[in-house]
Chains A and B, each alone.
Chain A
């Protein structure tokens, strides 16, 4: 595992803590064009993802990249997460990974 460049699990609200840093999140895709995707975070906030998304997107999408503002990410890695995904669980994971179990995460 590459630990040289860790990415933090974030939801919409946590994103603002990591502006300028590498993050990973899963969004529900609301819309997309050539250079960006607009999605809903697992805590129901709007997130803009810039970069070059894959040509076809599933309902849920994982992106890894640099948080360039409190509601946008410049993505380097795009992964389709399919059409059924438990957003609630993911959101809890984000909270735990940034809360008291932070030490368990890179």
Chain B
């Protein structure tokens, strides 16, 4: 094979303005330079070392370019073309190549007239020119080609962006970035099953692939989220815009005859699913928001599967709860639904004692148990992801995390309330909501979160009671000495004081009274009832008891409260009980206020 261009080839082209494959044609070999993709075709400059002419290649040759058969700086033999004038520029011409064949792959450089002047010089191709078809590639993979050899072949893999319905055979190399669940369907043509996957290639292009019936059965277990595959022999069609989840004009349908092979042990980079992790202790701000979040955590526990009856259609669907922890020393429960509960969930249960790290993309944040996470149909779970975050988390867990005591993100807000335990960021109201709705909580107690200042603590109220050290119930002074607990039926020499107090709270909309029990009152006052009692009994220059109460006044807290109705002298009165007290996270509160401002703006 002569690796050289035809001398004065361009001049020949210009003097033979049209050439078709049937005519007796002169031999014209030119070099392709400045090869560029323009919309759906390629343009280049045809170079003979002396002259260049603008040229285009037909769309039918796109696959030859993508496969590397025709390369920039390579040589082609012109078999059919026409030369046209560029409209408006009569002196400039361009060549429309309709047929050509590859003569040589990319040369080291553009052929220049200097090198042409010394005749006889043949430029060496950069690499051996071996065009491989997609089926050859697949066959060689079957033959267990060494990884290095495979790497060499990946050059022939088509980028997803180049796929179109009009091209012949192709092979793509893609990562499964989302795997759907198997669905059954019934329509006029019968019934069957279908599932789809989202595929992403090295360049980050995505395409959805759909498999029906036999193909669905065949490939459902083969496709695993996060793994890389070679795929060929699928068919492309225009994507249904209504259902499309990825940015691609086309979608792929795989049949039983499609070839799918996992690319194992390859160092080839294919973009991973892009995660944007939210630390567990920051999940509160996302409760009941539309925004989906990603989370990474160490698996603490995995529950058995449960069957939950779905409200809207009464269908029983499988659910499994897993508990995740991260470096914020908080844990959160993630509910896996459907196939994630049965398939992946089982896998997690089997390996739960190894505490794998899992990363989940696209979760809903709900207010069950304060803050909880739930998978949706397009959630993605990756077990032990190969990422720096996962490595860091795992080493934290192994070194200290497993010894650390963790608390649930949703707890601490209301340890005693069963049905009232919701997030501090959900159902937020102002105090006027209570004062302007006197019948609030008439049927059953209702729960809210509110941010308010303690504005007054009456110092002469009965703030505490004597409690049994075992059961916290009220005790009475025994006849001789000590205290008698009715609950325990036991006498103890000592008792402890527990708060039960009323505090006045204020915000910009008004003021009202809250009742607070021991744990919540301790947070409000800043010391235990025993300690406060101690201060009260100490007579001195400064009354420390008064000071303590003063200090507690005019400080703001986030309150979780229940509102109920209680009868006083046959008259119903609203009673607001503090179920949880947390310090104010100013940044989070500000975000909440900004949200409110933008909500008000859009609703106006």
Contacts and interface: CB of A to CB of B under 8 A. Distances in A.
Contacts of A100: 601
B386 to A, nearest CB: 31
A92 B586 CA distance: 15
Interface in A47-62: none
Contacts of B237: none
B51 interface: no
Given A86-B587, A89-B591, A100-B601, 9 more contacts: A86-B586, A86-B590, A86-B591, A88-B591, A89-B587, A89-B590, A89-B594, A92-B594, A96-B597
12 contacts: A86-B586, A86-B587, A86-B590, A86-B591, A88-B591, A89-B587, A89-B590, A89-B591, A89-B594, A92-B594, A96-B597, A100-B601
A96 B601 CA distance: 11
Nearest to B594: A92
A34 B2 CA distance: 71
Contacts of A86: 586-587, 590-591
Interface of B: 586-587, 590-591, 594, 597, 601
Nearest to A88: B591
A41 to B, nearest CB: 18
A88 B601 CA distance: 19
Nearest to B598: A92
A88 B282 CA distance: 15
A92 B590 CA distance: 10
A92 B591 CA distance: 9
Nearest to A95: B594
A86 B282 CA distance: 13
Contacts of B601: 100
B85 to A, nearest CB: 50
Contacts of B591: 86, 88-89
A88 B591 CA distance: 9
A11 to B, nearest CB: 14
A17 B601 CA distance: 24
Contacts of A88: 591
Contacts of B587: 86, 89
A96 B598 CA distance: 10
Contacts of B586: 86
A24 B108 CA distance: 59
Closest 4 CB pairs of A and B: A86-B587, A89-B590, A92-B594, A89-B587
Interface in A11-42: none
A89 B587 CA distance: 7
Interface string A73-106: 0000000000000101100100010001000000
Contacts of B597: 96
B207 to A, nearest CB: 34
Contacts of A89: 587, 590-591, 594
A96 to B, nearest CB: 7
A96 B590 CA distance: 13
In this complex, which of A89, A96, A100 has the most chain B Cβ atoms within 10 angstroms of its Cβ? A89
B18 to A, nearest CB: 58
A89 B589 CA distance: 10
A102 B597 CA distance: 14
A88 B593 CA distance: 13
Nearest to B591: A89
Contacts of A92: 594
A88 B597 CA distance: 15
A91 B601 CA distance: 18
B430 to A, nearest CB: 19
A96 B596 CA distance: 13
A93 to B, nearest CB: 8
A100 B597 CA distance: 11
Nearest to B590: A89
Nearest to B588: A86
A68 B597 CA distance: 32
B116 to A, nearest CB: 52
B191 to A, nearest CB: 51
Contacts of B594: 89, 92
